[in-house]
Amino acid sequence: MKATLHRREVVQELLRDRKKLLVVAGLGSTAWDITAAGDSPLSFPTWGAMGQAAMIGLGLALAQPRRRVLVVTGDGEMLMGLGALATIGVQRAANLSVVVIDNERYGETGMQATHTAHKVDLAAVARGCGFGESKIVTTKAGIGKLRSAIHGKSGPIFAQVKVVAEKLPLVLPPHDGVVLKERFYAALLADVLPEKL
Amino acid sequence: MRWPDDVHRALAAAGVRIVGYVPDAGHKRLIELCQADRKMRAVVLTTEEEGIGLVAGAWLGGERSVLLMQSSGVGNLVNVLGMVQVCRFPLVMIITMRGEQGEFNPWQVPMGRATPQVLEAMGVSVRRASEAKEVAPLVAEALKGETATAVLVSQSVIGIKSFQEQTEQ
């Protein structure tokens, strides 16, 4: 079945009216996608550490159990760190969602096919690892439901969203790691401190 | 062996809440102490690399964390330590050494020998505990800093492991 969803529209919709959602993005296309949807200090787009986006999300979810955490990453990035799904399954982080934007390609390196182009089913892997909810999403209606789940449903939640393989204009977030880290920490602290006082 | 109890106290005193680990016989006692501590979350990892993601995420969320692993696991960290360096994430790792005195498995030797250089090449400061009493103070000192530091626990501190002992454990 040919994918019909477009990645920028999907991510835009998932992040619409994001409220207090904390967002981590895998390197490459998904980092550009979340930035195209509107940069925020409470987004942590990565430029490296391939395979670790979901684990950064887990660390954040464990440290901030009262906040919802969303990891948006690519199929290639997720494939590099599949063990993270098992680790998240064991921790059962109820506030964590991992969404793989799956174009079945390594987009930054020449659009070579990834394992998902050869039918590797990441949603089935996540289900086997103990994610309570894990789906392949192919429709706009499915994206609407996924957005609601990310904001409210008890997780961990996993979704593999099939999207069109397309080359898009780069929308780059800040690339200084210290800036990305410090702005995130400061924004979260400003949010959390009044709650604690 | 008391050093794991001392290290656990140092972690608790520094307010460490998240402990990522890949099991190692030398870390057995410390892992059990962290698992039993209701203020700590012990997170078992499939590979040491995941620990770097965990530490980074925990820091972003305002929590202190440490990683426990054996020296062979350092080989799994190399690329992701780039994130620690470029973002200047504080990082404390307690690493039990393999491939040193009394090692029964020759396949452990190359990574054990390369461990300090690999860490230093990726910007991690290396401290060495050659005696049991040195471990906890070095960990406490590392937790005070905002840098990336590895405390290497010499194999002579852990004790010599044979196949016989392995099967009896």
Mutate to test the interface with A, among B21, B55, B59, B60 (most CBs of A within 10 A): B60
- Give residue A177's pLDDT band: very low, low, confident or very high (50, 70, 90): very high
Per the CB < 8 Å rule, is B62 touching A51?
no
Q: Which of B45, B46, B80 is closest, CB to CB, to A49?
A: B80
With an 8 Å Cβ cutoff, are A188 and B46 in contact?
no
Measure the CA–CA gap between A178 and B87, rounded to whole angstroms: 4
CA distance A12 to A38: 8
A58's CB contacts (< 8 A; 6+ apart) are A84, A87, A88, A91, A93, A96, B43, B53, B54, B57
A63 touches chain B (CB under 8 A): yes
CB B21 within 8 A of CB B6: no
Report which of residues B36 and B159 the model is more confident about.
B36
Interface check for A187 against chain B (CB to CB < 8 A): the answer is: no
Interface of B with A in 115-144 (CB under 8 A): none
pTM for this entry: 0.96
Model confidence pLDDT, tens digit, residues B134-155: 999 999 999 999 999 999 999 9
Instruction: Name the A residues in 10-29 with CB < 8 Å from any B CB.
Output: 22, 24
Measuring CA to CA, which residue among A98, A97, A96 is closest to residue A79? Answer: A98
Q: Nearest residue on chain A to B19, judged by CA atoms?
A: A59
Residue A2: inside a domain:
no
* pLDDT tens track for A115-153: 999 999 999 999 999 999 999 999 999 999 999 999 988
Which has the minimum average pLDDT: B52-56, B68-72, B103-107?
B103-107
Q: How far is it, in rounded angstroms, from Cα A54 to Cα A66?
A: 18
β A22-25/B148-153 pair status: unpaired
| Position A82 in a domain | yes
Q: Is the ipTM of this complex over 0.90?
A: yes
Q: If contacts are CB pairs under 8 Å, which of residues 50-69 in chain B contact chain A?
A: 50-63, 65
Range of the domain at A149: 7-192
Q: What is the pLDDT of residue B161?
A: 60
Which of B87, B89, B146 to probe the A interface (max A CBs under 10 A)? B87
Q: State what percent of residues in chain A have pLDDT above 90.
A: 92
Residue type, A178: V
In a domain, A197, yes or no: no
In a domain, A90, yes or no: yes
∠ CA A147-A148-A152, rounded to 5°:
120
Work out the pLDDT band at B159, boundaries 50, 70, 90. Answer: confident
Continuous H helices in chain A = 7-15, 29-36, 53-63, 75-80, 83-91, 122-128, 140-152, 177-196
Q: Most B CBs within 10 Å: which of A55, A85, A192, as the mutation test of the B interface?
A: A55
Does pLDDT of B1 surpass 70? no
Distance from B145 to chain A by nearest Cα, in Å?
Answer: 17
Number of domains in chain A: 1
Residue of B21, B34, B49, B50 to mutate when probing chain A, most A C-beta within 10 A: B50
Q: How far apart are CA A138 and CA A161, in angstroms?
A: 6
* Chain A partners within 8 Å of B62 (Cβ): 63-64, 185, 188-189, 192
Across the interface, do A84 and B55 touch by the CB < 8 Å criterion?
no
For the domain that residue A88 is a member of, what is the CATH number? 3.40.50.970
Q: Does A37 touch chain B (CB under 8 A)?
A: no
Summarised one tens digit per residue, pLDDT across range A9-52 is 999 999 999 999 999 999 999 999 999 999 999 999 999 999 99
- Domains of chain B are 3-168 (3.40.50.970)
Is residue A117 assigned to a domain? yes
